Structure 1
Amino acid sequence: MTKLVTVRESYDWITENEVTQVQLEELIRYIEERYPNENVLDQRYKRVRFINFVGVIQCSDIRYEIVPKINLSADDERKALLSMLSVSNFIPITFYERVKNGQETADLLTAFLTAFLERLLKELKKGIYKTYERQEENLYVMKGKLELSNHIRQNAFNHTRAYCSFDELTENNSMNQLFKAALQIVRSSSVLHTSKLQLERCLGYLDQVDVVNFPPHKLNEVRLNRQNERFRDAVLFAKLIIEHASIYNKGQQSSSFSFLFPMNLLFEKYMEVALEAAAGADAVISQHAKTRLLHNKKSGQENILLKPDFLVNNKVIIDTKWKSATYHGKSRYQQSDIYQMYAYVTAYKEAIRCILLYPKQEGEAEHPVWEVVDTNKTIEMKAVRIDEFWNSVDDLKELLNDG
């Protein structure tokens, strides 16, 4: 029986009240192996919390679900995360319509796997992908090309067989082997009856496909072309599953895998899509990198590249910040962020507004607006709702119109 532990990123601690010491150590071990160069866990004495990342981790009989903290219920925060992942294309399968209609209130992993299984089964029903693969067999009849050296070695005293090589149309190819490997990994993690049925139906279509291991280099051998393009989403998702899988042998084998997403990058990408919907795709420039802050008098070169997250209509500069702008009912900001925005608004001559953009919390404070001395330019703090995509778009429209 898998236990679900749901926590909020950078807020809730996982302690030995929720999991055993062994389970906690397994989680830490998995993170250290799978994400060695990432700052994923804040570790204290007998407790940990997730920072900078959201998503889901399956470790043996514990499933950890990390959702963004936006002061909603667990279901709403989960739906908000699924919406952000869908509209920003952070995962190759969209389930935005299901989220919008309120259908996806199960845990994150179930949502991910359900979307994957539905997409894969839909394509398999249309017809399993087949390719011509080279085969070698010792046959009673000639087929293809006689492999003379192997024929002599195997049939020196048997004149009734011929060792042949030939091309045969088969479903036992690398792409279908990829699907089967991914399905085998998640087989024990599908909790919904409908998901289990879909998984078994997928495996039924792949019954003649070999089960093979997929080291990282082998994943790159699975390529898309015009004949199998319809499987693109399923292929990308299967690769995600296999890339994120890790096996621990503790007397018995258990499969651990995860879907973790950097929250800062996810929030920025989500805001890009929402800004394009609010202002128009042509009005928004992402990661603008054509302006420099200083001119070196000796070398004649421009130094200190400025790279704001977004430039809107050449008038509004926006930098996203995945953190709360409110603390105990008051605005909270870092002076370094304000200095950075001052550098932006000074260097961009046409810009009249610089905005630090935060996710909106319940009980949001009234945030300050600073006027740059002797100019009509402003530096502002703003917050937008992320509970639902079109709420985000509406807030951004109002924000841009305020100027």
Structure 2
Amino acid sequence: MTLLVTIREFGRLTTAAVTPSLDEAQVTVSAFDWLCDLSARFNKSGARLLQVEGRHSLKWDSYVGVVETPCGTRLEILPKHTEQDYCEKKGRAVLCRMIQNALNLKPRTTSVASLELFDAPLTEWVIEQFLAELDHLIKRGLRSDYLRVEEEQYFLRGQLNVVAQMRQPPGRQHCFQIRHDVFVPDRPENRVLKFALERVCKLTQHPDNWRLAHELRGLLIDVPSSNRPESDLRSWSNERLMAHYRAVKPWCELILNEQMPFAVTGQWQGISLLFPMEKLFERYVESWLRGRLLPGATLRSQARTEYLCQHKNDSIFRLEPDFLIRQGKQQWVLDTKWKLIDSGSRDKNYGLSQSDFYQLFAYGRKYLKHPAGQLVLIYPSHSAFAEALAPFAFDDNLHLHVLPFDPHELCLIDSEHTSLPLLSSKDLAKLSDRARGIKIGPTI
């Protein structure tokens, strides 16, 4: 029986009996030991998954997602996007929306409203989206392909395999060794989908997902499951005739752990959907910015053209800001940080990091060579950080703006203070009306 444990970032896991909450939860001894081994494997690759605090306590780091242990404990980690009035349902909805935008996933039936109402674990949400896309694909029709078959029959069909026929023993000369093609749905894409569907049938515990998964499994009875899913996934065709397969592929990759920044490896093949929250928030903001840029403005992520210094005619210490926006001669350098800061704690520098300011100062000196350039530091908004801080001046020409980004409403608060080339809400409404064919203009 699967035991679901839900915590949020930086929550504690212990083997002692505690009152379960999002900041502290109890796990079994076997799950505790397995998580310690998992953390050791992450440390070898240079990533810190959790901190071991004594012999009976673990503190989770800034990774979100789902991990399943061999003993049946399914651990769900939600983002810590607010300090007050934290709601498990809203935390899960924020994480689902971030994954959807960061990986450019386009769910067919799930809207923002339904995300808010979906009160199932993260894995069930991923499974639901995969099944919805697969159901739509099957209704449109699976692609088949010709498969060469060599067999023995009592009649001629296709081409006679002369060499094999000549080797027939005397007692079987009445049988024909033939070679022919059959038009069947046995192709790499369908085999991968069948493999992912069989895995979903074993993993899902939601009644609706279980019912739909087994219905689709019956419809794919003629499709063999993949014996080499990684190889078949690399053979996935992107030709024009396979365009209706594109929507289900990202969800299939999520099920098979092919697109995860980190996936649990080893003998145990459980669920592994782990995302570094810093990178997830960065891609979430990038997806929003690309849809809000004014015509003529360009956005470049992870610019790598400048270095901190020169040494022996060679550049060292490459500078890589998260985003570089250009419009004409003007430039903006933007950086994202997944951290809760407090606009009311001026005596503690609002919780800002001095090293982050050093980093932004170096970005500004190297990338913003035009006097009109500006620096922008983006943090998630919450009750204690609901509006932009006053600008920070490095000198007369270089200023840093610290802005909140609302992960619920998908907006960069007080962005007008930075003169960023972004569409206003009125411009977005006009574009939306034009897309729907609504005439815009003064009425007579």
Scaled to the shorter chain, the TM-score interval is 0.7 to 0.9
The answer as to 2:340 corresponding to 1:324 is: yes
* TM superposition score normalised by structure 2: 0.78
Compared CA separation, residues 164 and 49, structure 1 to 2 (3 A): farther
Instruction: Map 1:64-79; keep pairs closer than 5 Å.
Output: 64-71=75-82, 72-79=86-93
Q: Secondary structure at the match of 1:380?
A: strand
Does the aligned pair in 2 maintain the 1:93–1:237 contact within 8 Å? no
Question: Map of 1:3-402 to 2, 5 A cutoff?
Answer: 3-9=3-9, 11-16=10-15, 17=17, 18-29=26-37, 37=45, 38-44=47-53, 45-60=55-70, 61-71=72-82, 72-88=86-102, 90=103, 92-94=105-107, 97-101=110-114, 102-152=116-166, 155-214=169-228, 216-243=230-257, 255-280=269-294, 282-286=296-300, 287-294=302-309, 299=313, 304-312=317-325, 313=327, 314-326=330-342, 329=345, 330=348, 331-347=350-366, 348-350=368-370, 351-364=372-385, 367=389, 369-373=391-395, 375-389=396-410, 392-393=411-412, 395=413, 397-401=415-419
Q: Please give the per-residue CA displacement for 1:216-259, whole angstroms capped at 9, x wherever unaligned.
A: 3343233332222211232333233234687987xxxx750222
Please say if residues 130 and 171 of structure 1, whose CA atoms lie closer than 8 Å, have aligned partners that are also in contact.
yes
Partner of 2:426: none
Query: Which piece of structure 1 moves more, 70-79 or 188-197?
Result: 188-197
> Structure 1 residues 30 and 335, CA, compared in 2 at 3 Å: closer, same or farther?
closer
- By relative contact order (CA 8 Å, sep 6+), the higher-ranking structure is 1
Q: For residues 402 and 95 of structure 1, what CA distance do their matches in structure 2 show?
A: 32
Specify whether residues 226 and 34 from structure 1 end up closer, same or farther in structure 2 by C-alpha distance, changes over 3 A only.
Answer: farther
Amino acid at match of 2:341: A
Change (3 A) 1:183 1:36: farther
Which amino acid in 2 is paired with 1:66? I
**Which TM-score applies when normalising by structure 1?**
0.85
3-state DSSP of counterpart to 1:157: helix
Please report how far the alpha carbon of residue 381 of structure 1 lies from its aligned counterpart in structure 2 after TM superposition. 2.9
| Contact 1:137–1:164 (CA under 8 A) maintained in structure 2 | yes
The alpha carbon displacement at 1:304 in A equals 4.9
Give the direction of change, closer, same or farther, for the CA distance of 1:47–1:185 in structure 2 (3 Å limit): farther
Contact 1:384 1:396 in 2 (8 A): no
- Structure 1 contact 185–255 (Cα < 8 Å) conserved: no
- Residues 257-288 of structure 1, C-alpha deviation per residue, up to 9 Å, x if partnerless? 22222222211111112223444374342233
The CA distance in 1 between the partners of 2:220 and 2:357, in whole Å, is 57
SS in 2 for 1:181: helix
User: Are the aligned partners of 1:52 and 1:264 in contact in 2 as well (CA < 8 Å)?
Assistant: yes
- 1:50 to 1:295, Cα distance in 2 relative to 1, 3 A: same
Aligned position for 2:2: 2
Distance, in Å, in 2 between the alignment partners of 1:341 and 1:317 is 8
Amino acid at match of 1:372: F
Change in Cα spacing, 1:317 to 1:246, as seen in structure 2 (3 Å) is closer
Offset at residue 77 of structure 1 (A): 1.0
The answer as to whether partners of 2:101 and 2:284 remain within 8 angstroms in 1 is yes
Q: Between Structure 1 and Structure 2, how many residues are aligned? A: 391
Deviation, 1:131, is 0.9
Structure 2 CA distance for partners of 1:397 and 1:334, relative to 1, 3 Å? closer
> RMSD of the TM alignment (CA)?
3.2
Cα distance change, pair 145–51 in 1 and its aligned pair in 2 (3 A) = farther
Residues 135 and 166 of structure 1 are in contact (CA less than 8 Å); yes or no, is this contact kept in structure 2? yes
Report the 3-state secondary structure (helix = DSSP H, G, I; strand = E; otherwise coil) of the residue aligned with 1:204: helix
